[in-house]
């Protein structure tokens, strides 16, 4: 068992990338309101920081005015869940969430397809939409406003980094005798790993 859960995660993610049929970087993001009401949705992992980065973590992007953005503003803690059915594996990650740096958000936004960038402007994510035609009208207006590739990042669209405080790696085993490995941060001593009963 690796002493560093990031190493194990990178190993499992590499295998998922080779064998999982659809979106190996898909993860459930669970947030909650200040009074504890949970909500969850699937988002895409867009980066895992390299070992030499301080405060390394898991990066995803979204509209900061969406439900998840509002919940993270009120309660900046979240949980992630990766499920790779083909491999019979799950990884749970829990920790604090903070906004990425402006330059990091700008760089990722610029790498997105043109219509995705326009869509970030057109969509009032999580708010009522009177009719699909309204979204399509907004998109058409934006295509006229930004005819080329230069499309600025909307001020309400950015990224978040979850910095882990706990990991659980779950491996499917016969007869439901699954293998569960957990890691937690020990004060000043790095990661501490142990096993759980299935």
Helix orientation angle between 114-122 and 132-145, rounded to the nearest 10 degrees: 120
Separation of first and last alpha carbons in the chain: 17
Catalytic residue among 37, 132, 150, 176: 176
Token pair for 40: 């969850």
Strand partners, 183: 167, 193
Query: CB under 8 Å to 39, separation ≥6 — which residues?
Result: 30, 31, 32, 33, 67, 68, 71
Q: Is 176 a residue of the active site?
A: yes
Task: Give φ, ψ of 6 to 5 degrees.
Answer: -65, -40
Strand partners, 19: none
> Which ranges constitute the DSSP H helices of the chain?
5-19, 67-74, 102-111, 114-122, 132-145
Cα dist from 120 to 84, 139, 173, whole Å:
28, 10, 42
**Rounded Cα–Cα distance for residues 109 and 152 (Å):** 9
Active site residues: 176
């Amino acid at each position: 068992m690796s002493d560093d859960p990031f190493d194990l995660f990178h190993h499992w993610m590499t295998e998922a990338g080779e064998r999982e049929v659809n979106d190996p970087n898909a993860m459930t993001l669970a947030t909650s309101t200040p009074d504890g009401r949970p909500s969850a949705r699937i988002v895409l992992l867009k980066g895992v920081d390299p070992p030499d980065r301080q405060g390394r973590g898991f990066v995803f992007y979204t509209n900061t005015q969406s439900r998840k953005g509002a919940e993270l503003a009120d309660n900046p803690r979240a949980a992630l869940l990766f499920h790779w059915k083909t491999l019979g594996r799950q990884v749970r990650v829990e920790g604090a969430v903070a906004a990425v740096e402006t330059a990091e958000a700008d760089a990722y936004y610029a790498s997105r397809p043109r219509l995705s960038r326009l869509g970030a402007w057109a969509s009032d994510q999580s708010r009522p939409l009177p009719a699909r035609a309204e979204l399509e009208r907004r998109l058409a207006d934006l295509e006229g406003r930004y005819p080329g590739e230069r499309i600025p990042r909307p001020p309400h669209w950015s990224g978040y980094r979850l910095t882990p405080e706990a990991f659980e790696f779950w491996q499917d085993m016969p007869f439901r005798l699954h293998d569960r490995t957990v890691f937690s941060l020990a004060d000043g001593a790095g990661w501490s790993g142990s096993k759980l009963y299935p």
